[in-house]
């Protein structure tokens, strides 16, 4: 396996030759481990930097010695599923499509069997009526 780069101007080596297994090991080393944050902050933005609290809008960070009497910042409130749908896919399930009123989620299901039953029921209701000769009905006349 050979990886080439243009090194004419710099006079550097242009090829790196790997054995296939070594090349796979080099690639595998670049894959982050599961459940690890891909964004890392350094310097004053690092999670434990003593000045982080003073520069972040949410006042997060390690509490300094002089800030013991100040109230703690409000806990982060995550977005609801409906808010995420609206933000990412521009699908608004909080507003009624007919009257514009507020819609409230009263139930949700993640069971594939139940979801399939509901979708089949909706398809049956939405499907056009079969032609008269197939349904056994005769047109008047």
Applying the rule CB under 5 A, the residues between 69 and 108 that interact with Zn ion are 96, 98-99, 101
User: In the block, which residue shows the tokens 């080393």?
Assistant: 29
Asked if 70 contacts 61 with a C-beta cutoff of 8 angstroms, the reply is no
Strand partners, 15: 4
CA distance 21 to 1: 10
- Of 72 and 98, which has the nearer Cβ to Zn ion? 98
Closer Cβ to Zn ion, 33 or 98, answer by number: 98
CA gap 79, 65 in Å, rounded: 33
In the bound complex, what is the minimum distance in angstroms from residue 73's beta carbon to Zn ion? 38
Tokens of 137: 């009905």
Which CB atom, from 98 or from 108, has the smaller least distance to Zn ion? 98
Beta carbon nearer to Zn ion, 65 or 99: 99
Residue nearest to Zn ion (CB): 96
Least CB distance to Zn ion at residue 134 (A): 36
Tell me which H or E stretch contains 124.
helix 112-126
Residues that bind Zn ion (CB under 5 A): 96, 98-99, 101
């Amino acid at each position: 396996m050979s990886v080439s780069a243009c090194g004419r101007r710099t006079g550097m080596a242009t090829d790196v030759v790997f054995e296939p297994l070594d090349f796979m090991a080099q690639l595998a080393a670049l894959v982050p481990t599961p459940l690890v944050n891909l964004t890392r902050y350094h310097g004053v933005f690092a999670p434990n930097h003593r000045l982080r609290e003073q520069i972040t809008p949410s006042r997060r960070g390690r509490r300094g010695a002089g800030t013991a009497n100040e109230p703690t910042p409000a806990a982060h409130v995550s977005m609801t599923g409906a808010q995420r749908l609206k933000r990412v896919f521009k699908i608004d399930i909080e507003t009624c499509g007919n009257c514009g009123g507020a819609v409230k989620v009263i139930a949700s299901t993640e069971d594939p069997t139940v979801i399939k039953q509901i979708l089949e029921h909706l398809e049956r209701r939405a499907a056009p009526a079969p032609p008269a000769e197939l349904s056994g009905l005769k047109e008047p006349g």
